[in-house]
A = this chain, B = another copy of it.
Amino acid sequence: MKELLERLVEKHQFKTREGKCADYIPLLAEQDPSQLGITVVTRNRGIYKAGRFPERFTMQSISKVIALILAIMDCGERKVFSMVGMEPTGDPFNSIYKMEIFQTQKPLNPMINAGALVVTSLIKGQTVEEKVGRMIHLIEEMTGNINIKVNEDVFRSEYETSHRNRALAHFLKELHLIDRVEETLEAYLRQCAIQITCEDLAKIGLCLAQYGKTFDNRMVVPACVSRLAKTFMVTCGMYNASGEFAIKVGIPAKSGVSGGIMASVPMRMGIGVFGPALDQKGNSIAGTALLEDLSRQLDLSIF
């Protein structure tokens, strides 16, 4: 497996040149776009790594999966889905228009920013610290890594420039879907700035793959919630390229604009990828190619 991963990293390395780092967040723009790394954690505790796997990077949208899991564990499915829908949208992650023109009274799903803000606001906690602390704690449980932290520089950088998210949050306030705008926004942007490595992502993926059981056999997420998370990862995990990813790769996965992808192959493995050069829809361009190849080689598609 290790050799396969090394071969694939090498093979798809050139792809990094076709993308570019997210430029709307200064600190992300400064990343080296040529990086590409992967970690696979298998059901039988095997850990395989290749490329730039040791890098730390921020979760960004991958954190939406963690927040959704926690919100459901906190409030129950019924409550959460009374305030956010279940449908893929075909629209960009920061889109507002459907809520306006179709007068849907809730965001279409928890993986677009509008839905993610609602989900974060539902997580229990008196303060931003408590909410974010509980998300970090869940990540620590899933990964066994007790050193999960928020990257304060990235958080601050995003907080100051997050005008579109702020617009979304005020729009949601008008719809009575969130209450405290600035707090929700701060919690959301802090969760996006949580730092992880490919190994952390792979272990989260494995935990979902094993229906809530971690690599070292601790049950930390209910099976039904793990299943639900993987389902959203298929229908809306790769922004508005989710359909294409499902066709070409066929693995539940969630990407973030920092270049991370967390993937979960039911009952087989978790995968963490890092490659900050992005394609036009915001997904790691070499990371996606790497996963497509890996899926074909190991027949990982769930379809």
A91 touches B (CB below 8 Å): yes
Judged by a CB distance under 8 angstroms, whether A227 is at the interface is yes
| Contact of A231 with B247 in the complex, beta carbons under 8 Å | yes
Pairwise interchain contact A86-B244, C-beta atoms closer than 8 A = yes
Interface string of A220-257 (1 = CB under 8 A from B): 00000001101110111000111110110010100000
Compute how far the CA of A169 lies from the CA of B166 in the bound complex, rounded to whole angstroms: 10
Q: Is the interface of A mostly helix, strand, loop or mixed?
A: helix
| CA of A88 to CA of B89, assembled, Å | 6
B167, B235, B252: which contacts A174 (Cβ < 8 A)? B167
Inter-subunit contact B301/A227 (CB<8 Å): yes
Given contacts A89-B90, A250-B231, A252-B303, contact A96 B96 (CB under 8 A): yes
- Listed from nearest, the 8 A-B pairs whose CB atoms lie closest are A163-B174, A88-B88, A167-B170, A87-B243, A97-B97, A167-B171, A89-B90, A166-B170
Q: Given A100-B95, A303-B302, are A243 and B88 also a contact pair (CB < 8 Å)?
A: yes
Residues of B within 8 A of A301 (CB): 227
A8 to B177: give the CA distance in the assembly, Å.
37
Q: Which of B98, B101, B102, B302 sits near A302, CB closer than 8 Å? A: B302
Report yes or no: B166 in contact with A244, Cβ–Cβ below 8 A. no
By the criterion CB–CB under 8 Å, are B171 and A243 in contact? no
Which residues of chain A (158-208) have a CB below 8 Å from chain B?
Answer: 163-164, 166-171, 173-174
Cβ contact within 8 Å between A234 and B234: yes
In the complex, A247→B302 CA distance in Å?
15
How long is the Cα–Cα vector from A146 to B58 in the complex, in angstroms? 58
Q: Out of B85, B98, B173, B234, name the residue touching A303 (CB < 8 Å).
A: B234
Q: How far is the CA of A90 from the CA of B228 in the complex (A)?
A: 19
A91 and B87 CA atoms in complex are apart in Å by: 10
**In the complex, which residues 264-287 of chain A have their Cβ closer than 8 Å to any Cβ of chain B?**
266
User: Which residues of B have CB within 8 Å of A230?
Assistant: 303
Q: Which residue of B lies closest to A164 (CB)?
A: B174
